[in-house]
């Protein structure tokens, strides 16, 4: 098997010449900078809280009698946890967007699909075949593999935006007319027409996110085992290490 020396003929999605040089030396690449990793785990935690509390908001736990009603704040706390996690997720998301501007170029992947790049599509196709067991050897990627990138974009970038917008539109109802939340998100509610619909689509969004989580975690662990690079540890240490020194 021959090693190619021309970077532009190598297909590894967003890898730079430098990255390729590194891969060929079978070393590791620093991919996820600290803010990205911090965000990832905080975000993951917030979303887990949001899913658990969100589900309970739709289907509350059995009634209990602990204290006098105004002092027993069980459902209040569930909702509080939801809103707090929602705020954290929102602030984090804005922070992550900021980092896409100032961070390394991997940090932009989640927000932009390079669908104008023919090579990217080739890799998408390759990745589909790999997951469909039609391809025996996986490819190497420094950042996300293109399929993961698509998932990130649709489930996270779009999905989280959807949850934030609908979540705040719901939150605005409680804060009330005249609040900034209402000024920004209220028109959405009025456009939808009935807040019950807003609740239902926000609720449906939860399942959308949950399904992403399932696929995401499965894929991360699977790739960790079956691909040619590190996965889970990458999101902890930030560096991607490769298991062989082939280029793509």
CB-facing half-sphere around the CA of 230: CA atoms within 13 A: 19
15 belongs to the binding site for ligand HEM (CB under 6 A): no
* Pick from 48, 6, 46: nearest CA to 24: 6
Binding to other proteins, residues 194-213 (CB under 8 A): 194-201, 203-204, 206-208, 210-211
216 belongs to the binding site for ligand HEM (CB under 6 A): yes
86 belongs to the binding site for ligand HEM (CB under 6 A): yes
CB of 156 to ligand HEM, least distance (A): 4
Report CA 79 to chain centroid distance, whole Å: 23
Binding to ligand HEM, residues 65-84 (CB under 6 A): 79, 82-83
Interatomic CA distance for residues 168 and 184, integer angstroms: 9
DSSP letter for 140, please.
P
Which range of residues in 12-20, 25-33, 71-79, 103-111 is near other proteins by CB under 8 A? 71-79
CB of 193 to ligand HEM, least distance (A): 16
- Residue 230, CA distances (Å) to 74, 135, 187, 225 in order: 42, 20, 45, 8
22 belongs to the binding site for ligand HEM (CB under 6 A): no
Which range of residues in 16-24, 105-113, 117-125, 131-139 is near other proteins by CB under 8 A? 131-139
Residues 203 and 58: beta-carbon distance below 8 Å: yes
- Residue 29, CA distances (Å) to 23, 148, 235 in order: 8, 18, 12
Structure tokens belonging to residue 239:
């560096």
Residues 168 and 160: beta-carbon distance below 8 Å: no
DSSP letter for 157, please.
I
Query: How many other CB atoms are there within 10 angstroms of residue 151's CB atom?
Result: 18
206 belongs to the binding site for ligand HEM (CB under 6 A): yes
Contacting positions for ligand HEM (CB under 6 A): 36, 40, 43-44, 47-48, 50-51, 54-55, 57-58, 79, 82-83, 86, 89-90, 109-110, 144, 148, 152, 156, 163-164, 167-168, 170-171, 199, 202-203, 206, 209, 213, 216-217, 220-221, 231-232, 234-235
Contacting positions for other proteins (CB under 8 A): 55, 58-67, 69-70, 72-76, 78, 131, 133, 136, 173-174, 176-177, 186-187, 190, 193-201, 203-204, 206-208, 210-211, 214-215, 218, 222, 225-226
């Amino acid at each position: 098997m021959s090693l190619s020396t021309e970077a532009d003929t190598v297909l590894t999605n967003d890898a730079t010449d430098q990255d390729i040089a590194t891969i060929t030396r079978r070393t590791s690449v620093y991919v996820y900078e600290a803010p990205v990793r911090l965000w990832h785990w905080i975000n993951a935690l917030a979303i887990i809280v949001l899913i658990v509390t969100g589900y309970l908001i739709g289907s509350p736990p059995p009634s209990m009698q602990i204290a006098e009603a105004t002092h027993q704040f069980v459902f209040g706390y569930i909702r509080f946890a939801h809103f707090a996690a929602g705020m954290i997720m929102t602030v984090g998301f804005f922070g992550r967007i900021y980092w896409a501007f100032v961070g390394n170029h991997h940090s932009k992947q989640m927000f932009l699909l390079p669908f104008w790049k023919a090579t990217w599509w080739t890799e998408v196709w390759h990745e589909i075949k790999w997951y469909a067991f039609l391809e025996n050897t996986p490819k190497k990627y420094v950042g996300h593999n293109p399929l993961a990138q698509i998932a990130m974009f649709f489930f996270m970038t779009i999905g989280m935006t959807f949850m934030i917008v609908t979540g705040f539109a719901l939150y605005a109802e409680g804060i009330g007319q005249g609040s900034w939340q209402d000024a920004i998100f209220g028109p959405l509610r009025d456009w939808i027409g009935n807040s019950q619909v807003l609740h239902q689509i926000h609720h449906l969004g939860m399942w959308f996110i949950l399904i992403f989580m399932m696929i995401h975690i499965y894929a991360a662990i699977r790739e960790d085992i079956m691909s040619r690079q590190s996965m889970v540890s990458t999101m902890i240490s930030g560096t991607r290490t490769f298991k062989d020194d082939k280029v793509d």
